[in-house]
Amino acid sequence: MTLSEETARRRTFAIISHPDAGKTTLTEKLLLYGGAIQEAGAVRSNKIRKTATSDFLEIEKQRGISVATSVMTFEYNGIRVNILDTPGHKDFAEDTYRTLTAVDSVILVVDRVKGVEEQTRKLMEVCRMRNTPVMVFVNKMDREGIEGIELLEELEDELKISTCPFTWPIGTGNQFKGVYNLYKKSVQLFSPGKSTISEMILSSTDQNPAELEEFAGKENLRKLWEEISLTSELFEPFDYKRYRDGHLAPVFFGSALNNFGILELLETFLEIAPGPGSAEAHERTIQPDDKLFSGFIFKIHANLDPNHRDRIAFLRICSGRFEKNKLYYHPRLEKRMRFSSPTAFMANAKSSVDEAFPGDVIGLYDNGSLKIGDALTEGEVLNFKGIPSFSPEILKEVINMTPFKAKQLEKGVRQLTDEGLAQLFIQQPGNKKIIGTVGELQFDVIKYRLENEYGATCNFHALPFAKACWMTFKDKTQMENLLNRKASVIAFDKEDNPVFLAENDWMLRIIKETYPSVSFFKTSEFKPETEISV
């Protein structure tokens, strides 16, 4: 195939949700349809993950949660599908945020029982920042919960996005029988099947055949036609451009556990979801059909296998053709690098690849040279936009408990924060190391990994700050004045950008009144939409 043909047949997306909404189960069922796994439970029971136990994954097992993004690839009807299954736990939200920079669209899973939850809102904020196309899958329709029309109204109010139902449930709770496709005018009914793909029992364009009424029940059908009539009045019709621009979300209903509605979601996704799109660098816009290769690192995993101390950088290919053993240029280091063992992923299982195309995500074995946000090209200097750090909510000072292991601690803290596990800020005088995270769990992970992977022990001293805000100044004199007078609440990130450590919003307002030229930002990308209003 040509480069354009290979690019056109790729769909790269992330599945996101609040914890326990059913994200992993949906991922699993999509993999079943794609033939990537043979039985349900493989994702949840770790059958498709790397079997070697790492220290990091041991923490994951102990907590019973997913804390790492998994990459999974399969083929369906000639389309190469790349799924990035993200952590649901809020303490690892920043890993999810960065993952969203590497995808072309998103499927948001919503729990029908609980509706819109806190993490759902935060994830949608990031999608809106990038105008990422979003589809919504309302899960657990086989359980009692919020009614369909009420839930769509909640989605619009809470997530600030228009909704467009693509399917509608036939019955709910223990009477849930399947879904009706509002655009194909067809019914798909399924038998519950938890371990294999369920057989479709009926697909019909006739709205009320006798066999449909016998299976679904007369009352369920009456309610179905009544609600479908209401949806046409209350919600927008599908508009391809508004979906692609991130303003309209197609909605699907189903039960991932029982295979209700999954096929409708998958086939519609492949039909309307965007393929690889353009990527923004400070120097120019990169188009996927550009002949020369380019890509960026959006995630790093170190020491996945403690026996080999491997470090893998996740690369999203933006343009051209990536080839094994070819020399590529690293703009930040100003040197060329060769990758002899690039890998494709099935969760943490890896297979060697000879070439990859725009939209693909591959793993590169790295000796510590690569960092999140780094570009690789065929010689062009590119610095990709849109891979920011977010303002942490918890800040603690690192206290070295084994002074003779200072070098190991320094190395460990640098490498773990390079992975994006947390953020590192340096405060003077004394070269104090401050770790910033969005949750307490990262501190447990960092402490565990420092001791088991680097032989360094530490404690964390809680600081009285509620947020770290990046700053810019219009007046250089005011900047120097603030940095000198408020050194106790100023730190610097790894790019040496000044960061204000605030105890509360009131403190930000006082500083703004005293130094009118200062602007505060909630991410390390100083965009107008990320500026904090004080």
pLDDT band at residue 155 using 50, 70 and 90 as cut-offs: very high
pLDDT at residue 202 is higher than 60: no
- Are 398 and 373 part of one and the same domain? no
pLDDT for the residue numbered 305: 55
Number of domains comprising the chain:
3
Distance CA 203, CA 180 (A): 9
Residue 50: the pLDDT is 38
- Residue 303 tokens read as 């020491």
Among 342, 377, 412, the domain-final residue is 377
In the prediction, which pLDDT does 55 show?
35
Considering the domain architecture, whether residues 284 and 246 belong to the same structural domain is answered as no
Q: Residue 205's pLDDT is what?
A: 52
SS (H, E, C) 66-135: CCCCEEEEEEECCEEEEEEECCCCHHHHHHHHHHHHHCCEEEEEEECCCECCHHHHHHHHHHHHHCCCEE
Q: Does residue 384 fall inside a structural domain?
A: no
User: For residue 496, what are the domain limits?
Assistant: 394-530
pLDDT of res. 261: 87
Q: Quick one: pLDDT at residue 42?
A: 47
Report the pLDDT value the prediction gives residue 89, as an integer from 0 to 100: 58
Strand bridging mode 70-76 / 105-111: unpaired
Range 166-175 average pLDDT: 89
Domain boundary at 272, 298, 325, which? Answer: 272
Kindly report, residue by residue over 64-84, the tens digit of the pLDDT.
444 455 778 888 989 999 998
pLDDT of amino acid 38: 53
Return the pLDDT at 92: 64
Q: Which of residues 217, 252, 272 is at a domain's end?
A: 272
Residues 193 and 263 in one domain: yes
Enter the tokens of residue 105. Answer: 């669209």
Q: Same domain for 29 and 161? A: yes
- CATH code of residue 356: 3.40.50.300
Confidence tier at 324 by pLDDT (50, 70, 90) = very high
Q: Residue 157's pLDDT is what?
A: 94
Q: Give me the pLDDT at residue 395, please.
A: 95
Q: Is the pLDDT of residue 198 over 70?
A: no
What pLDDT score does 311 carry? 80
**Amino acid making up residue 135:** M
Same domain, 100 and 146: yes
Same-domain status, 361 and 333: yes
The domain that holds 398 is classified in CATH as 3.30.70.3280
- Check residues 529 and 104 and name the one with the higher pLDDT: 104
| Average confidence score pLDDT of the chain | 84
Is 266 in the same domain as 285?
Answer: no
Indicate if 478 and 495 belong to the same structural domain. Answer: yes
Q: What is the dihedral of CA 93, 99, 105, 109, to 10 degrees?
A: -30
- Residue 368 domain-assigned (yes or no): yes
pTM, to two decimals: 0.81
Q: Are residues 312 and 344 in the same domain?
A: yes
